[in-house]
Amino acid sequence: MTSAPAPFLGMEETIDRYYVDFVWDLNDYELLARYARNDSTAEYVRDLDRSYSLGPALTGLFEAYSRDEELDDSVEVRLASPGDKRVRWNIGYYWYDYEQDQFQRNFNGFGESYLPHGTGSETIVNTAWFGSIEVDLADNWRFAFEGRYAKDEISRASPEETDPDAPLADQNFYSFSPRVTLSWNIKEDESLTGYAQIAEGNKPGGFNFSYFDGDTDWDRVNFEDKVVVLEEEATTYELGLKGAYFDGSLSANISVFYIDWENQAINVSECIPQNAAGGGGCQTNNIVQNAGESSVRGLEIETQWFPTDHQTYTLAYGYTDATLDEYVDGEFAVLQCPNECYDTLQGSAELTPEARALFDELGDVSGNAAPRAPKHNLAVSQLYQAPLFTSQMEWYVRNDVIYDSKNYTTASNLTWAPEQWTWNARLGLESARWSVSFYVDNVTNEQSPIAIQDFPLFDHSQSYLAGAGGGVINQNAFQLLPRRTRNAGIVATVRFGAN
């Protein structure tokens, strides 16, 4: 049995956005209130492998229709002191509520999978108190402290028709993110400033929702170890210098930094245990796994030059040395593991202590470069802009060249994306009310992929046994996000309400 053809190919999305902003002046104090709402529905029809699953009688294995309905509301209230005082401060409160419902329909002949069914719902509630204080010290010194205390309530559940035994993923994540800055105006006119900064940042924890999208055998899943994604924490130490020269026609900023990163999230492939309804065994899918510790050392340089009133040149260079200080890569271990890696306890699927120790030893990638972090990146741009006919109209020509060096796609450092150069050019005409421009993107026709990610290889004929008593080892493929080739076009814009 097969379903009717998909109504369209690609993605169709409808978004409604609302925003309200209030500002009150209260005797030189400012009270600000904001409200925003986003309501969207996205429908996506795809065929990832462009092939038949079991011959022309049935449609493809990866042909599917999905519908995501998302709604979020946010409120921010902030009170700020006068900005011309020696001591300045602000305090505020933030609230964010997000809801998502997902539906899936597969166009194939496997049972009743062609019928629409829900694949889960997700809610996120973020509340935070934040504030800052800035003090002008003697001799051009300035001290600033900022802080944010946040609570993230995240929940996800599979609907009853998908998996009635799935546990509710419901957890609260708390964080405090402070930042301390000490700056010094080296010159009285503030054309040269140095600063030192220490900051703590975080990315809230969450869940690997891939476990909720199928027929997971929850009796074989360690929920805290596999499903829960720990909060990422990073402490950054930074020294910098900002300066303006030649009467402001040249500006240059330079900074060096070190980041101590804990629980860094890394994308990996995991074989998720399946129950009887899912065919038993396991099904490979992409999940996020926390690394133990990472460290990042880097340098950033930014310059901007205005040789004339009509010309602007900018250059930005970054050097980043991101290293995994502590991490065991299971995929790397599997490539090297002998049969002893898969020895299990009597009557259990759990590895013996000796097998676990060997697995961890062979999968240790400490000292490797962190994935998706090019060491060098460079951005150079040129802009010429001048009046045309009248002072109310200007023409411009702009060129942007961007470079990223080679970067590894996995923690094992066995695969990588090559270096890439892109050049975008634009010629335009604009006024306060309208603009029109002709562009050529990717002038040099750079063909390197934008991103590369591990992806399960569903051709099980390429799988193999780990050995006597071992399980099935599934091979990986790579999902490439291709770069659009050289393309040109015309863009016209009208600004309603502009003078």
CATH code of residue 318: 2.40.170
Could you read off the pLDDT of 230-244 as tens digits, one per residue? 889 999 999 999 999
Q: What stretches of 223-273 show up as alpha helix (H) in DSSP? A: none
Tell how many helices (H) and how many strands (E) occur in the chain: 2, 27
Could you read off the pLDDT of 71-87 as tens digits, one per residue? 999 999 999 999 888 99
427 domain residue, yes or no: no
Check residues 10 and 433 and name the one with the higher pLDDT: 433
Task: Tell me the chain's radius of gyration from C-alpha atoms.
Answer: 27
Check residues 496 and 129 and name the one with the higher pLDDT: 129
Q: How far apart are CA 185 and CA 142, in angstroms?
A: 8
Identify the burial level of 440 via C-beta atoms within 10 angstroms of its C-beta, where 0-12 means exposed, 13-18 middle and 19 or more buried: middle
CB atoms within 10 A of CB 329: 25
The band of 115, judged by pLDDT with boundaries at 50, 70 and 90, is very low
Q: Are 28 and 82 in contact (CB under 8 A)?
A: yes
Give the tokens for residue 62.
Answer: 């990866």
262 domain residue, yes or no: yes
171 domain residue, yes or no: yes
The band of 464, judged by pLDDT with boundaries at 50, 70 and 90, is low
131 domain residue, yes or no: yes
Full-model pTM: 0.80
Q: Provide the domain count of the chain.
A: 1
What phi and psi, each to the nearest 5 degrees, are found at residue 7?
-70, -20
CB atoms within 10 A of CB 272: 24
Q: Reply yes or no on whether the pLDDT at 406 is more than 60.
A: yes
What phi and psi, each to the nearest 5 degrees, are found at residue 336?
-115, -10
405 domain residue, yes or no: no
The band of 3, judged by pLDDT with boundaries at 50, 70 and 90, is very low
**What pLDDT shows up at residue 139?**
79
- Say what the alpha-carbon torsion angle 402, 406, 411, 412 is, to the nearest 10 degrees: 170
**What pLDDT shows up at residue 372?**
87
Residue with the two structure tokens 């975008």:
424
387 domain residue, yes or no: no
Q: What are the b/e assignments for 145-178, b being 16+ CB within 10 Å?
A: ebebebebebebbbbeebbeebbebebebebebe
What phi and psi, each to the nearest 5 degrees, are found at residue 405?
-80, 170
Q: How far apart are CA 411 and CA 325, in angstroms?
A: 11
Could you read off the pLDDT of 446-456 as tens digits, one per residue? 998 888 877 76
78 domain residue, yes or no: yes
Residue 462 lies in domain? 10-374+445-480
What is the mean pLDDT of the segment spanning 135-155?
92
Could you read off the pLDDT of 279-306 as tens digits, one per residue? 666 777 778 888 778 899 999 999 999 9
